[in-house]
Amino acid sequence: MVANLVTTIIPVYNRPKLLAEAVNSVLGQTYRPIEIIIVDDGSTDDTAKVADKLAEDHPQEIRVIHQKNSGVGLAREAGRLQARGEFIQYLDSDDILMPLKFELQVAGLRTHPECGVAYGKTKYYESGKSPADIPWKRTGEEIEMMFPAFLQSRWWGTSTPLYRREIIDRAGSWTNLAREEDWEYDSRIAALGVKLYYCDEFVSEQRGVSLDRLCKNLPPSTWLDRVKAHALIFEHARAAGINEDALEMRHFSRELFLYSRQCGREGLVKESKEFFRLAQAASGARRGNGLDFKLYKFLANMFGWVLVGKLSCFSYRFRKEI
């Protein structure tokens, strides 16, 4: 580890123009020293050439890793293993850092040694539109700890936080999950009891990300990883001492129940049953054996998890529309 150094890890796949913009936002930081590790995850266009040219132009600050396509989690892991910084920044190739981000957040962590992660406000906007000065998700709120709030959602973007290296080392490796790998990773960090330093400034911009909605069509192949991710998030929350009576755990259990219905609608019976089991576990012994769970399981066993899932999701959409 190199003291004071901030390492930014940027996984990228087929985004040459956006990659250059993301890298330039790191090079434009008022803080030094920095290093940038670009992980080209098997790109098939000009991305690899753009990455190599950026490294050629800035050899003291940029390194490039080329690997076969393995997914964003394993791409971040490849960068993590090569990182030398005392502080770690993960950055998706379509996002942007504000110039003062490192200066403000490193200073915050220096003056608050009890904190392991610094975060600030992030803007969200669709690509091609102008960003408004409105904090995205809950990045405009000062929150002391990652848990239990992270059970309700991953309430920041990948570009938002800056981590101490020691926290990253304790959290360990990224998984190969194709869905919610970032939420699982941050929940693992949250289970360590990490305190947060809040910087009341805009520190990054999140661009053009399509947010999933419950009971929305999604590729069936993504659901198995979603089941795995949510099972791990639940384990991390329990390890942190969050029980079924916490409001955040109740929210999480309701989300699991909705995902069970969605999987049923998509014909994914195994995943539907697993989400249902997790929802019961997250609800606790009393609520997990309540009338709603008993009735749903009875109907699913009698008429099939697919039919009941379809009817339930139709009812969910109908209620949302009215």
Task: List the chain domain ranges.
Answer: 2-207, 221-321
Q: Spell 130-156 as b/e; 16+ CB within 10 A means b.
A: ebeeebbbbbeeeeeebbbbbbeebbb
CA nearest to 95, candidates 17, 183, 11, 159: 159
Q: What is the pLDDT of residue 34?
A: 98
Amino acid 38 reads I
Cβ pair 136, 209 in contact under 8 A: no
> Taking the CB of residue 231, how many other CB atoms lie within 10 A of it?
17
Lowest mean pLDDT: which of 134-138, 207-211, 287-291? 207-211
In this model, does residue 168 exceed pLDDT 90? yes
In this model, does residue 183 exceed pLDDT 50? yes
Q: Indicate the average pLDDT of the chain.
A: 93
Longest dimension (CA), the chain: 65
Q: Helix 291-303 to helix 247-265 angle, to the nearest 10 degrees?
A: 10
**What percent of the chain lies above the pLDDT cut of 70?**
94
Q: What percent of the chain is helix, strand and coil (3-state, nearest 5)?
A: 50, 20, 35
CATH of domain 2-207: 3.90.550.10
- What pLDDT band is residue 35 in, cutting at 50, 70 and 90? very high
Q: What is the pLDDT of residue 62?
A: 98
Overall average pLDDT of the 256-280 stretch = 96
In this model, does residue 234 exceed pLDDT 90? yes
Record the pTM.
Answer: 0.92
